[in-house]
A and B are shown apart, each in its own frame.
Chain A
Amino acid sequence: MEAIYILWMRQLKRYFRSKSRIVGALGQPLLFLLALGYGFGSVFRAAGQGNYIQFLVPGVIAMTVLFTSVFNGMEIIWDKQFGFLKETLVAPVPRFVIMIGRTLGGATVAVFQGLVVLGLSFLVGFRTPHLLGIPMAIGFMFLLSLVFAALGTAIASVLEDMQGFQLSMNLIVQPLFFLSGALFPLKGLPTVLHYVTAVNPLSYGVDALRSALIDMSHFGMATDLVVLGAGAVVFTVIGGRLFGKIQA
Chain B
Amino acid sequence: MITVRNLTKKFKNLVAVVKISFEVARGEVFAFLGPNGAGKTTTIKMLTTLLIPTSGEIRLNGYDPVTEQDAVRRSFGIVFQDPSLDNQLTAYENMDIHAVLYKVPRSGRKARIEDLLRLVQLWERRNDKVEKFSGGMKRRLEIARGLLHHPAILFLDEPTLGLDPQTRNLIWEHVKELNRSEGVTVFLTTQLMEEAERMTDKIAIIDHGRIAAQGSPQELKEQTKTTSLEQAFLALTGSTIREEEAGSGDRLRAWLAMRRGGR
Residues of A at under 8 Å CB distance from B? 2-3, 5-7, 10, 13-14, 17-18, 79-94, 160-163, 247-248
Q: Does B192 contact A (CB under 8 A)?
A: no
Within the complex, the shortest CB–CB distance from B107 to chain A, in Å, comes to 14
Report yes or no: B102 in contact with A91, Cβ–Cβ below 8 A: yes
Report yes or no: A82 in contact with B101, Cβ–Cβ below 8 A: no
The 8 A CB mask of B70-81 against A (1 = contact, 0 = none) is: 110110101010
A-B contact pairs, 29 of them (CB 8 A): A10-B86, A10-B97, A13-B89, A13-B93, A17-B88, A18-B88, A80-B248, A82-B249, A82-B252, A83-B82, A86-B80, A86-B84, A87-B101, A88-B101, A90-B49, A90-B50, A90-B76, A91-B98, A91-B101, A92-B71, A92-B102, A93-B101, A94-B70, A160-B248, A161-B251, A162-B252, A247-B51, A248-B45, A248-B50
The verdict on A81 contacting B249 (CB below 8 Å), with A6-B96, A92-B102 known, is yes
Taking CB as reference atom, which chain B residue is nearest A17?
B88
CA distance A22 to B50 in the complex (A): 34
Report yes or no: B84 in contact with A92, Cβ–Cβ below 8 A: no
Taking CB as reference atom, which chain B residue is nearest A87?
B84
Q: Does B238 contact A (CB under 8 A)?
A: no
Taking CB as reference atom, which chain A residue is nearest B51?
A247
Q: Does B48 contact A (CB under 8 A)?
A: yes
The verdict on A92 contacting B70 (CB below 8 Å), with A84-B84, A86-B84 known, is yes
CA distance A6 to B86 in the complex (A): 13
Taking CB as reference atom, which chain A residue is nearest B252?
A81
Q: Does B100 contact A (CB under 8 A)?
A: yes
Report yes or no: B88 in contact with A90, Cβ–Cβ below 8 A: no
Taking CB as reference atom, which chain B residue is nearest A94?
B70
The verdict on A86 contacting B50 (CB below 8 Å), with A14-B88, A92-B102 known, is yes
Report yes or no: B255 in contact with A83, Cβ–Cβ below 8 A: no
Residues in B neighbouring A91, C-beta threshold 8 A: 73, 98, 101-102
CA distance A13 to B130 in the complex (A): 14
Q: Does B83 contact A (CB under 8 A)?
A: yes
Residues in B neighbouring A89, C-beta threshold 8 A: 50
Report yes or no: A92 in contact with B101, Cβ–Cβ below 8 A: yes
